[in-house]
């Protein structure tokens, strides 16, 4: 695993040494950030179900103003801390790491967020559950992206979120959502 572009381009990320964590592939992460393009620069980003922290570190490398990493697994939080400390030693003020579920973390996080990147474990209702958890993540301009298995379709609408676009790559899908305007 490596950082794809930006100031940290080419730098290696530590990968998990335990079963059950499925990091976003370099290729899928490249697709995600190519689609987001300039929306990342200056953005406040939530990296939910952060795992290795690769999505959030990629966002920081591409100019995000701040990233909040959220994961419920203590091993993943330690891995995010290691990757961030090694790759961003002088940028501690540009990120926060919270060990909690996404919904719980948002009660403590310094939002609102411009981009919410969610990579929950692949399961039947994972995309819908992740979007529900991220309801408090931001305002009317917030975009949410959910990575999910192709075999489990993402909902066209979930709470305040409306599906805008989906991109399939192998067994994975990136579903892009916009907050509905009231």
pLDDT at residue 20, rounded to an integer? 63
Enter the pTM of the model. Answer: 0.92
pLDDT at residue 122, rounded to an integer? 85
pLDDT at residue 150, rounded to an integer? 93
Residue 108 near residue 96, CB atoms below 8 Å = no
Tell me whether strands 172-179 and 143-149 are parallel, antiparallel or unpaired. Answer: antiparallel
pLDDT of 90-106, one tens digit each?
888 999 999 999 989 98
Angle (nearest 5°) at CA 76 between 40 and 94: 35
Q: Which residues of the chain have pLDDT under 50?
A: none
Domains and CATH numbers, the chain: 26-179 (3.40.50.150)
Residue 41 near residue 62, CB atoms below 8 Å = yes
* Beta-bridge partner residues of 89: none
C-alpha 58/C-alpha 178 separation (Å) is 21
pLDDT of 140-173, one tens digit each?
889 999 999 999 999 999 999 999 999 999 899 9
């Amino acid at each position: 695993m490596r950082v794809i572009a930006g100031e940290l381009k080419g730098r290696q990320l530590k990968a998990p040494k335990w079963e059950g964590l499925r990091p976003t592939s370099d290729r899928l992460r490249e697709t995600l950030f190519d689609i987001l393009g300039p929306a990342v620069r200056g953005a406040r980003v939530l990296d939910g179900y952060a795992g290795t922290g690769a999505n959030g570190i990629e966002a920081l490398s591409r100019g995000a103003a701040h990233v909040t990493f959220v994961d419920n697994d203590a091993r993943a939080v330690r891995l995010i801390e290691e990757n961030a400390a090694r790759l961003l030693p002088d940028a501690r003020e540009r990120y926060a790491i919270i060990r909690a579920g996404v919904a719980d973390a948002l009660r403590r996080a310094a939002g609102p967020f411009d981009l919410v990147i969610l990579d929950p474990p692949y399961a039947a209702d994972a995309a819908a559950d992740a979007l529900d958890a991220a309801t408090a993540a931001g305002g009317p301009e917030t975009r949410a992206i959910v990575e999910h298995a192709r075999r489990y379709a993402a909902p066209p609408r979930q709470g305040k979120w409306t599906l805008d676009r989906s991109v399939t790559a192998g067994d994975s899908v990136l579903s892009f959502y916009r907050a509905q305007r009231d």
